Amino acid sequence: MVILGIESSCDDTSAAVVRDGVLLSNVLAGQEVHRQYGGVIPELASRAHQQHIIPVTHGALTVAGVRPGEVDAVAFTSGPGLMGSLLVGTSFAKGFSLATGAPLVAVNHLQGHVLSHFIDVPEKRLPHPSFPFLCLLVSGGHSQLIVVNSFLHFDVIGETIDDAAGEAFDKCAKVMGLPYPGGPIIDRLATQGNPQAFRFARPQAGGLDYSFSGLKTSFLYFLRDRMADNPAFIEEHRHDLCASLQHTIIEILMHNLVKAAAQTGIREIAVAGGVSANSGLRQRLLDEGKMRRWQVYLPELRFTTDNAAMIAITGYYLFLAGKRTAPDVTPTARIRH
Ligand code: KG4
Ligand code: ZN
């Protein structure tokens, strides 16, 4: 069974082909255009998707050695995400479906991130978590703790009440004058800094929920005060600032994850989403896992940030479960669970 996956929810255009659960290709075009603005500009993102979607899909089919007529279903991200971006992938998937007769399968982007743990690749065996597992989903738009009972049944037991973890990285990076997206840059600079150098607020949202907006504000005020005495403070302490900020975000994330694991009794622990690429978070999960006898699942780096492989694999499991999407489907920017 051949599934074509299409992802266009934010600023990456991606297409992937999965055959019987095995990834044959995963092609991605990023969008440099947003860098200079310090964040994603929705209008520019939609336009770039329009430019990329056909070459990217053509590339994915070519690398996989699959003709359009051999595709059994077209899986596409139907939300959450930027409406203009989602419309490009959705409309393209509809056109492909109409031209080839392959049915449509709408995929929730967040479910895609979680199920990235089930992507099989031809060259090696990747470990799959067993159900039920606990997934810390941390991206630029979302921070959630999810009990994953099966491919299709998820319970969100905690989530952010304001900013996502990736947003905390990106917004604080912007305050330091770093380009967008700041998360990977902070990760790199943090490796040469002292994580205990500075202390920032660790807001608690109650229960298993997260809150990051207080951290951003505390970071901003801290820098403003220090800069008043020393205008070169950021340049002189860049590595320590990044290491301390990253350490604080990881502490906040781990606090509720540990609580959730204790409350649910689940020891299969997975992490997903763009922030799961963070080297500090990955190491901390491995250390904590060893100490607490968790089985920890870290996605391969190429499957952490937005990609169509995770959409194709999710489409594969939805298709196997008999899910089909009507051709009058429209994307949803915000999805309630
Ligand atoms: O999953 P993703 O590609 O898009 C969304 O669905 O939001 O996540 C993007 C987010 C950005 O905020 C980016 O800064 C963050 O993931 N990110 C990282 C790292 N790589 C990407 N944050 C911290 N460390 C990284 N290495
Ligand atoms: Zn994402």
Strands 104-108, 133-138: pairing kind: unpaired
- List ligand 1's pocket residues with C-beta within 6 A: 10, 139-141, 166, 169-170, 181-184, 187, 273-275, 277-278, 305-306
Q: How far is the CA of 272 from the centre of ligand 2 (A)?
A: 9
State whether 79 and 219 are in the same domain. no
Indicate whether 326 belongs to any domain.
no
State whether 162 and 238 are in the same domain. yes
Tell me the percentage of the chain whose pLDDT exceeds 70: 99
Residue 119 scores a pLDDT above 70: yes
Averaged pLDDT for residues 229-236: 98
Task: Tell which one of 275, 284, 285, 311 to mutate to probe ligand 1, the residue whose CB is within 8 A of the most ligand atoms.
Answer: 275
Residue 121 scores a pLDDT above 90: yes
Per-residue confidence (pLDDT) for residue 336, from 0 to 100 = 58
State whether 21 and 101 are in the same domain. yes
State whether 63 and 15 are in the same domain. yes
Per-residue confidence (pLDDT) for residue 161, from 0 to 100 = 97
Q: What CATH number is associated with residue 76? A: 3.30.420.40
Strands 295-297, 13-19: pairing kind: unpaired
Query: How many domains in the chain?
Result: 2
State whether 87 and 204 are in the same domain. no
Average pLDDT, the chain: 96
Confidence of residue 326 (pLDDT cuts 50, 70, 90): very high
Indicate whether 109 belongs to any domain.
yes
Residue pLDDT, tens place only, 34-64: 887 888 899 999 999 999 999 999 999 999 9
Q: Which two tokens stand for residue 187?
A: 């990760």
State whether 307 and 291 are in the same domain. no
- Helix or strand holding residue 143 (H, E): strand 143-148
Per-residue confidence (pLDDT) for residue 237, from 0 to 100 = 98
Indicate whether 335 belongs to any domain.
no
Q: How far apart are CA 97 and CA 324, in angstroms?
A: 12
Q: How far apart are CA 75 and CA 94, in angstroms?
A: 10
Averaged pLDDT for residues 195-203: 95
Contact at 8 Å (CB) between 137 and 148?
no
State whether 71 and 198 are in the same domain. no
**Structural domain range at position 66:** 2-124+303-320
State whether 175 and 251 are in the same domain. yes
State whether 104 and 198 are in the same domain. no
State whether 171 and 103 are in the same domain. no
Task: Tell which one of 13, 169, 176, 314 to mutate to probe ligand 1, the residue whose CB is within 8 A of the most ligand atoms.
Answer: 169
Indicate whether 62 belongs to any domain.
yes
Averaged pLDDT for residues 146-174: 97
Averaged pLDDT for residues 144-163: 98
Averaged pLDDT for residues 281-293: 98
- Model pTM greater than 0.85? yes
Indicate whether 334 belongs to any domain.
no
Indicate whether 333 belongs to any domain.
no
Residue 129 scores a pLDDT above 60: yes
Ligand showing the shortest atom-to-Cα distance for residue 283: 1
Indicate whether 288 belongs to any domain.
yes
Residue nearest to atom 3 of ligand 1 (CA): 305
Q: Which two tokens stand for residue 11?
A: 């600023």
Of 36 and 136, the one with more pLDDT: 136
State whether 310 and 285 are in the same domain. no
Ligand 2 ion local residues (Cβ < 5 A): 139, 306
Q: How far is the CA of 80 from the centre of ligand 2 (A)?
A: 9
State whether 115 and 159 are in the same domain. no
Residue 337 scores a pLDDT above 70: no
CB under 8 Å, gap of 24 or more: what pairs does 167-174 form? 167/140, 167/141, 167/212, 168/212, 168/215, 168/216, 168/249, 169/245, 169/246, 169/249, 169/275, 169/278, 170/39, 170/140, 171/216, 172/215, 172/216, 172/219, 172/245, 174/38, 174/39
Confidence of residue 335 (pLDDT cuts 50, 70, 90): confident
Indicate whether 330 belongs to any domain.
no
Per-residue confidence (pLDDT) for residue 32, from 0 to 100 = 83
Q: How far is the CA of 231 from the centre of ligand 2 (A)?
A: 36
